Amino acid sequence: MKERFLVTGGAGFMGSHMIDFLLESYPESTVICVDKLSYASNYLMVNLSRAKNHPNFEFIHLDMSTDYQELEDLVMGISHSGAPDEPVTTVLNFASETCVDLSFEDPCFYTRNNIMATQNLLECCRMLLRKHPLHSDDFAFIHISTDEVYGEQNHLDSANEDSRLRPSNPYSATKAACDLIIHAYWQSFKMPIIILRPNNVYGPRQYPEKLVAVTLKALLHCKPNRELPKEYRIPIHGDGHYTRRYLHVSDLVRAVDMVRNKFRKAGHVKDWTGQIINIGTRDEIKNIDFVKEICDIYMKEKYGVEADLLKLVYFSKDRQFNDARYATDLSKINQLGWKPNIKLDAGIRDLVLMTINEGTGI
C-alpha cells in the first residue's frame, strides 16, 4: 500500500531521522515534512539534505499553531487543481519546542506553540476522519511525547504508562497537556491514536543546546593540556549528579515504525487505539560522568591523552527546578519485541568519531 506520511517537526533532530528512515524503508510512499523552521532554521535545513532530493519527499513551511486552514488542506490532501484528494494515512507528530532552559524564559511561547500546534493538528485529523469515515481503518496518529511528563523518579522507581503525570517545568507541562488533549480526542472522537514517551534521545544532527551536542561542539575548540576559553566551556547544571537515561535516535525511529506497523496491522487498530508506550533504555548515567566519558573518548581518539575535565567544564547555577532523575518502565515496548540495538558507550563513541573525522556528529 502506498502511504502518505505526514511528519511534523520533520526538519528537527528526531523528525529528520524519521523522514530518512521512511524514505528508505517505503520508497514508493510519499513523505511530507511540515516545519515552521524556528530559531535553528538554517541548522534544521541541513537535516533535510538527504531527503530533499528524493522524488517522493515534500517540504511544507508552515506554523501549525497559527496556519490552521493550510494545515487542514494538507491533511485532507486537497488539490486546488481539481485532482482527487490524497489524504494523509499516517501522522507522526514530532513538532515541539524542546529546550527546557528556554521554556523558563518564555513559558507562554511554549504554551502557544506546543499546545496549539498539537490541538490544530488533532482537529484537522478529526475533520479528515469525519469527511472520510472509512479512512479510519487505514489511518494512524502517533504522537511523540517525553518521559519528562512523569516528573522526577526516586532511585528505586520507574514510571509506567499508567503513572500520574507530574511535569515540573514549563516545557514538560506543555507536553503533558498535549498528551491529555490527545487522550481526550481518543475518548471523545474514537480517533486512532498512540502516544509514545521516549527518554533522552541523542545522535547525529542534534542542535547544540542538549548536553551531548553541547559537549561535542565545545570539544571542537579544545587542545591538550589547555583550558577551554570560558565561552566554549561545557555547562554542568548544579553539581552534575543528576542522572538521565539515553536512547539513540536510530533506535527511536525503529520503535516508532514497529509500533506503527503493529497499530496498522489488520484487526489490531481498535485494540491499539489510545495506547501509551514508553520507549527507552536502562543506560542511566550521571551528567558529570557522561560529559567525562564523551571528553575522554574525544581526547584519546584525537590527541592520545585523557581529558582534564576541570579545564573543559564550568558548573552553572542550577535551574529553578531540575528533576534529579527520570526513569521509565519498559515492559510494554519490550513485550512487543523491541529492544535498543545501540548501547550508550558504542553510540557515543560513533558520534565522537563522526565529530572528529567529519564534523557531522552535531
Helix (H, G, I), strand (E, B) or coil at 238: coil
Q: Tell me if residue 147 is catalytic.
A: yes
Q: Tell me if residue 323 is catalytic.
A: no
Task: Give the containing element (helix H, strand E) for 263.
Answer: helix 249-264
Choose, from 20, 35, 148, 257, the residue flagged as catalytic: 148
Choose, from 110, 171, 207, 326, the residue flagged as catalytic: 171
Task: Give the containing element (helix H, strand E) for 211.
Answer: helix 211-219
User: What DSSP assignment string belongs to 3-72?
Assistant: -EEEEETTTSHHHHHHHHHHHHH-TTSEEEEEE---TTHHHHHHHTTTGGGSTTEEEEE--TTT-HHHHH
Q: Which residue has the cell 498535549?
A: 178
CA 125 and chain centroid, separation: 21
**At residue 262, what is the residue type?**
K
Burial-class residue 216 by CB neighbours within 10 Å (0-12, 13-18, 19+).
Answer: buried
Choose, from 147, 179, 257, 323, the residue flagged as catalytic: 147
Task: Give the containing element (helix H, strand E) for 285.
Answer: strand 284-286
Q: Tell me if residue 148 is catalytic.
A: yes
As annotated, the active-site residues are 147-148, 171
